[in-house]
Amino acid sequence: GAVVSQHPSWVICKSGTSVKIECRSLDFQATTMFWYRQFPKQSLMLMATSNEGSKATYEQGVEKDKFLINHASLTLSTLTVTSAHPEDSSFYICSALEGDSNEQYFGPGTRLTVT
């Protein structure tokens, strides 16, 4: 099946700094990618829909100026958490929609810890 990678797999940063997470579709092109956040013992919450070449669509309650999304190519979307705070510590998961099959493939996730 199709493979989606994320980098880094885990990151620890200090409060106030910014962190960039990459999501890549390795063997297919994805015009649409999704970013989810998962807090401990909770389910996945959709943060935003990332479309190649256009602005991301954010879900209600997600600050677009804090979570910057760039989908500059058909295989790469990035999520930048700006001015991170401890409450941003979470598991961030991306998924990519494969155009031909319209199936969604998840990346392995990035665990962010803000100290």
Rounded Cα distance, 16 and 84, in Å: 5
Q: Which residues contact 26 (CB under 8 A, 6 or more apart)?
A: 2, 3, 4, 5, 75
- The span of 12-20, 37-45, 63-71, 72-80 binding other proteins (CB under 8 A) equals 37-45
Tell me whether residue 5 or residue 80 sits nearer to other proteins (CB atom): 5
Residue listed under structure tokens 């579709």: 25
Considering the rule CB under 8 A, would residue 54 count as an interface residue with other proteins? no
CA distance 14 to 83: 9
Q: How far is the CB of 16 from other proteins (least distance, A)?
A: 28
CA dihedral 107, 96, 56, 70 (to 10 degrees): 60
- The reply to whether 46 sits near other proteins by the rule CB under 8 A is yes
Site for other proteins in 82-101 (CB under 8 A): 93, 95, 97
- Closest to 61 (Cα-Cα) out of 71, 76, 75, 47: 47
Structure tokens at 60: 């209600």
Does residue 42 touch other proteins according to CB under 8 A?
yes
Of 12-20, 41-49, 61-69, 76-84, which segment contacts other proteins by CB under 8 A? 41-49
Nearer to other proteins, 80 or 104 (CB): 104
Q: Which residues bind other proteins (CB under 8 A)?
A: 32, 34, 36, 42-46, 49, 93, 95, 97, 102-109
